[in-house]
Amino acid sequence: MRVSYNWLKDYVDVDLTPQELSDRLTMAGLAVDAVDELGAEIEKVVTGRIRKIEKHPNADKLLVCTVDVGQGEPLQIVTGATNVREGHVVPVAIEGAKLAGGLQIKCSKLRGVESRGMLCSGQELGMETKLMSSDMAHGILILSEDVPVGLDAKEVLGLNDAVLELDLTPNRGDALSITGVARDVAAILKKELKMPSPQFTEGEEKIEDLAKIDIEDPDLCRRYVARVIKGIKIGPSPMWLQNRLRAAGIRPISNVVDITNYVMLELGQPLHAFDYDKLTNGHIIVRRAKEEEKIVSLDGAERTLNPDMLAITDESGPVAVAGVMGGLDSEVTGDTVNVLIESAYFHPINIRRTSKALGLRSESSMRFEKGIDINGSLRAADRAVQLIQQLAGGTVVAGAIDNFPSPITEKTIQLRPWRVNWVLGVDIPKEQIKDIMERLQFRVQEQGDDLLVTIPTFRPDITGEWDMVEEVARLYGFNQIPETLPFGASTQGIRTPEQQLTWNMRKVMTGCGFTEVITYSFVHPRIFDLMNLPQDSRFRNVVKLQNPLSEEQSVMRTVLVPSLLEVLQRNLNRRAQNGAIFEIARVFYPVEGQPLPEEVPVLAAVAIGNTPKTWNQPARPMDFFFMKGVAEQLIDSLGVVGAEFFRHQDPSFHPGRCAKIEINGQLLGVVGELHPNVIENYDLPARAVAMKLDLNVLNQANRPVKQYQGLPKFPMVERDLAVLVKQDVLAAEMLSIIKKAGGSLLREIDIFDLYQGAQVPEGYKSVAFSMKFQAPDRTLTDEVINDKMQRITSSLTAQTGAELRK
């Protein structure tokens, strides 16, 4: 919000400099980002009238102007501008003048002709071209013919002003107006607030005979005020009005349109002016738009509406998108003679959604989104009528149509002074608290030791006692609240089991050489094709966003691996040859009949290339066995028991290099090498491996409490066993058989050799196991060990067809 310092002084007597006022406002909660001193560099620029124009004798593209600046003899000035004419009043930089950018004007000769100054354009005076009317944006500034000569051009053009740029919090919609800011300034400085009081004369014709307003959807339009003015004359606005609009960052257009913008900036109530003669029978209907209903907005673009949007229509169709922008067919043009002024209250959430859906955000929609004063609609319409009558003439039709289906009463909230002091840690007397609230235009009644505060409708953000405590604090002064240490009972924070699980997983994954990443929860639907998923895959059942930022983020993810692959691909494109990343996040599955999706926490990891080489470890490929080892390390570190790996088929993974992980029959996750099609789809240069785990299953898994026991007193006996089995027999199956047959005496078992070669029959493999036996209460004899080895061998032979290798 840009606030003109000079404009602000119309409503409150400010005796501070702009910078001092900026500091006071910031300390009161209305943060001022910057103070822009307009025309600070400009000196000795005055208004002048061109009396005579002649061609330059030595240059075809130059003109010699005789300019009266009201300071003695007229000045001879050479210019190359083509838009100047005799009689024009223009800003003139006289000798010794300073312009924007530090340019200084001196007497000089141009192609042999003396020039004693310069005719100025808006850019040379530091004015923004985009904020100037079309006739002023190019060439020399042409001022109104009735502007006297010899005046300071800074005053005429409003450049003797300062603009405060406010950074408002979303709740302070009331401060999106000059009078709203003035209200706070008056409260801070303890000055009187002078609000505009509209006064105008009405004709004999009644508005009921000319217009009709119907609100079909009062839930979206709670009030609609209309006034009609006939016989106006469209033209440029006076300079003072244009200056104030430019200071606020709005480009002047014409007197009527500028007045609607002026009142919006002044009172915070967006207005719209319709060409009355373009409205069918003067009948305004406020309703939800029809499906695929279209309107050409003021910016010339065709907009497609839907029933979630509110439209302003006549009997022929839409004439405006409520609260966002008017329609081109009913706009005010140079031929307009009769206007209908709209001043309404629209539902903030609906306006925000409509504005976002259409990709169209305006000054009006911004104010409606934050909430305006519903009781200020008629006042704003009257203010606009007053200014139109003054600046555009015309006859005001008697009366106003005020369709207000459900008038709002101001709410009253109890404010307890002791509570204010307890929260703020100060001792403010009740009388001072009452004075602060009254300075903010709140009505206050005493009720014993408490106060009953009536909240005006221009402050919809005040909903309870806590909000009023904040108001007291910012007007009392945050800098006056003493610094204190926190007090009260302290408790030691601990993590929940789920949080601790996640914390431990992060430590394990980073310890295995992985880097954690964070990706968006919104993805593109094409990821399911890139991941090679069939059309009937359950992962294609997604939650679609109603208002996506783009097609790239239009659905909520049901799988996490694609997001990691995009990160991996981006890193590889930047010459990162190796990569191992993981993410712990949530995926989202729609639930039929439920408004919110099911959120499932998962861990996903992807890796490509080789592990880093260290002083004691060579680099090794990050292949299936690497990722399987990471999964085993993760599960073991978390103390989970009962996890088993089985061969698995997954469309996203290589058909022969993929395993599923189960715990007590529940699917924990999948680990393996990605399918070659997936590798190609993501343009990866080599094989990549991935892992995905369901953390709900992992959190529910059995994790026995660790128990400590004494060191063993009796020696451990080691035995090796090498067998020949068919190639399709799984090592995991053989390990399970050995553990069962070895019983409690078998403490450790490892596979230390896998061999296929000349000495092994075709279709077979040699697997060698290292086993360690130990008893807690005795030394094991050869007889006991041999018996265990015999049972293990017999079990392997019976269940897998294994033969002892000789």
pLDDT digits (tens, 9 = 90+) for 585-604: 999 999 988 889 999 999 99
State the pLDDT confidence band at 30, using cuts at 50, 70 and 90: very high
Annotated binding residue 783: no
Single out the residue of 348, 341, 378, 340 nearest to residue 365, CA to CA. 348
Give the pLDDT mean for 374-396: 95
Q: Are 61 and 103 in contact (CB under 8 A)?
A: no
Class level of CATH domain 43-156: mainly beta
Q: Which helix (H) or strand (E) holds 451?
A: strand 450-454
Numbered ranges of CATH 3.50.40.10 in the chain: 202-403
Give the mean pLDDT of 90-116. Answer: 90
Superfamily of chain region 202-403: Phenylalanyl-trna Synthetase, Chain B, domain 3 (3.50.40.10)
CATH 3.30.930.10 occupies which residues in the chain? 497-700
Q: What is the mean pLDDT of the chain?
A: 92
Is 461 marked within a binding site? yes
Mean pLDDT of 639-646: 87
Residue 138 pLDDT grade (very low, low, confident, very high; cuts 50, 70, 90)? confident
Q: Whose CA is closest to 394, among 261, 146, 201, 225?
A: 201
User: How far is 279 from 315, CA to CA, in rounded Å?
Assistant: 8
pTM assigned to the model: 0.69
**Mean pLDDT value across residues 203-214:** 94
Tokens (6 digits) for 350 = 């609906």
Mean pLDDT over 251-276 rounds to 95
pLDDT band at 615 (very low <50, low <70, confident <90, very high): low
- Rounded CA-CA distance 565/583 in Å is 11
Token digits of residue 465: 């006692």
Per CATH, domain 412-479 is 3.30.365.10: no
Strands (E) in 637-683, as ranges, are 643-647, 653-663, 666-674
Model confidence band, residue 135 (pLDDT cutoffs 50, 70, 90): low
The arithmetic mean of pLDDT across residues 144-170, rounded, is 92
Ranges in the chain annotated CATH 2.40.50.140? 43-156
| Homologous superfamily, domain 717-804 | Ferrodoxin-fold anticodon-binding domain (3.30.70.380)
Residues 6+ apart with CB under 8 A from 251: 130, 131, 132, 133, 245
pLDDT tens profile 349-368? 999 999 999 988 899 999 99
Of the two residues 772 and 489, the one the predictor is more confident about is 772
Options 3.30.450.70, 3.50.50.60, 3.90.950.10, 3.30.56.10; CATH for 2-38+162-189 is 3.30.56.10
From-to residues of CATH 3.30.56.10 in the chain: 2-38+162-189, 412-479
The H or E element spanning position 611 is none
Q: Interior CA angle at 671 toward 666 and 675, to 5°?
A: 125
- Distance, CA of 404 to CA of 350 (rounded, Å): 18
- Mean pLDDT, residues 614-628: 85
pLDDT, tens only, 48-64: 999 999 999 888 889 99
Please compute the mean of the pLDDT values over residues 723-736 and round it to a whole number.
89
The per-residue pLDDT for 498 is: 87
Q: Is 632 annotated as a binding residue?
A: no
174 a known binding residue? no
Number of residues assigned to the chain: 806
Q: What average pLDDT does this structure show over 184-198?
A: 94
What is residue 370's predicted lDDT score, i.e. its pLDDT?
92
* CATH 3.30.70.380 boundaries in the chain: 717-804
CATH of domain 497-700: 3.30.930.10
